[in-house]
Amino acid sequence: MSSGDPVVQTLDGGKYDFNGHGEYVFLTDGKNFEIQARTEYVVPGNKDATYFSAFALLDKTKKTSHEKIELHYDREADDIKFVRNGTYNSKCNASSMLVHGRPYPCELPIRYNCVVIPGGGKIIIQNCGFGSYIKQLEFGTDNFLSVQIIRNSRANITNITGLVGHREDGFYIMRNNTKVSENAPALSFFQLGESWSLRSESESVFMYKQTGENFTIYNKHHSRPEFLEDKLGNLTALFKTFTAENISLFNKTCRNYWNNEPNNQCLLAIARTRDYNRGLDVMQEANATRYKWEILHNEAPNVSSDFPKNITVNINSTFTINLTEYVTDNNTCPEKLVFDVVTNLTKEEYSIDSGIFTWNVGTGLREIDTGIKFIVYDKFNASSVFSFSINYCGCSEVSFCSFPKSMDHPSDTVVKASCVCPAYASGKYCEVVKDVCPKYNCYNNVCNVMVYKSKPSWPCGPCPEGREHSMLGYNQTCTGNVE
């Protein structure tokens, strides 16, 4: 995107600052179309900073007559005024109303090559002579006039030249075919931009009667900005007329969020225009561009191979795992990762807090087959899914569970133990305690199914010390004398 305090972005992604004042060949194939740009001073009298104030488009594909479009930025209204073939059309301004919530062609029926779609602070232009190279041009307003070129990725752009023309092996191309390195000093980029200034009025696409001005005003008195880039290492010199508090604020504001490095473009914008808001605009665009890049290059969180493949749990126990110990992400710190749980267990059985999953194992898996799946999201909402298989003991006591036998309807992620009940218990999960004491004649009538469940004398209590126990049918006898 090429925008105010001119940041020029070429068709193939190169970027450079250019603060020339005048009219320039912005983009052309030398045959079917040409786009020209006009720049003016951000602050009258300050020759160090300019902004795009107008664009003119020439479509040469018509045999009978060429089609001309002009877009003039109304800085006071933060609007773009549209002119076709010398006639102003207020219905095509960027501030035009959206139709059913979206931009819509302002001239119907469409009688021209160039289709103009305004609204919502933008003007979109499609087709024209650039149709084979560019899908559309999007002119926008946000304190300054900007243009975004949506390129046809399959098109060969080696013959596209101008301020935003193609690069060759990392070099920008001047009008005289001189090459400028991507790492060249600011003066070289200024000379690069100036090489594309208009040479004569016959070369201009602009129709000056719209502004009441003439070719000479913009093209015969080019100025040269001070190259403040050389002072970037010394903020006191760069902002020599500002207070220490101002300089501290500028230094804090002009920092890239992704690496905390100084953003030179932001610093230069403030220094050139003496307007703090221009720096904020630069940072807003830089951060938005970086954010889009991070999303494009983002990878989903990585789950460690050490994450347990299966677990064994039983009812009335608690299972806890810190998921953050098993997940890493290149762009999101562990405490910023967001975790979610997908399961049919009731919310009463589990919780997740800051990546720590706690499962108060209950009877939920007795009657249903459901796994437990985890989803982790990074700050860009990219996600990874992971889970473990579950060996579930749903019997009333752990000792009753028998693995690897499963219940009647096991799932792929849950293996349920079968319950082998002892003599004192019954039911599907051995949950029913048998009250058999009425059937037994125990010594001294000491009988308790649960208390003596592990004793050989069950359900009766053990014989007194020194006496031998015997059980005949339902009758307990304790023989021998107690000394």
* DSSP assignments along 90-110, one per residue: GGGSTTPPPBTTB---SSSS-
Q: Is residue 410 very low, low, confident or very high in pLDDT (cuts 50, 70, 90)?
A: very low
- 392 and 265 in a single domain? The answer is no
* CATH code of 86's domain: 3.40.1000.10
Considering 219, 254, 269, which residue would you say is the last residue of a domain? 219
- Which helix (H) or strand (E) is 3 found in, with range? none
More confident residue, 86 or 344: 344
Residue 204: band (very low, low, confident or very high) from pLDDT cuts 50, 70, 90: very high
Question: Residue 131 above 90 pLDDT?
Answer: no
Task: Please state, in angstroms and rounded to a whole number, the distance separating the CA atoms of residues 419 and 400.
Answer: 5
Query: Based on the structure, what is the number of domains in the chain?
Result: 4
pLDDT in tens, 310-343: 899 999 999 999 999 999 998 888 889 999 999 9
- Confidence label for 405 from pLDDT (cuts 50, 70 and 90): low
Q: CA-to-CA distance for 430 and 398, rounded, in angstroms?
A: 11
Nearest-CA neighbor of 93 among 102, 85, 101, 103? 103
- The pairing of strands 389-393 and 414-416 is parallel
Determine how many CB atoms are found less than 10 A away from the CB of residue 42.
Answer: 22
The reported pTM is 0.56
User: Do 407 and 291 have their domain in common?
Assistant: no
Confidence at 64, pLDDT banded by 50, 70, 90: low
pLDDT mean across residues, the chain:
88
Residue ending a domain, among 263, 281, 297, is 297
Mean pLDDT of 23-33: 90
Between 6 and 160, the more confident residue is 160
83 and 96: one domain?
yes
pLDDT at 467 over 60: yes
Mean pLDDT of 215-237: 86
Helices (H), 149-302: 186-194, 215-219, 235-238, 244-253, 264-273, 276-297
- Model confidence at 212, in pLDDT bands (50, 70, 90)? confident
> Where does a domain end: 271, 297, 323?
297
Q: Which domain holds residue 280?
A: 228-297
* CA 138 to the chain's CA centroid: 22
pLDDT in tens, 234-261: 999 999 889 999 999 999 999 999 999 9
pLDDT value at position 409?
Answer: 45
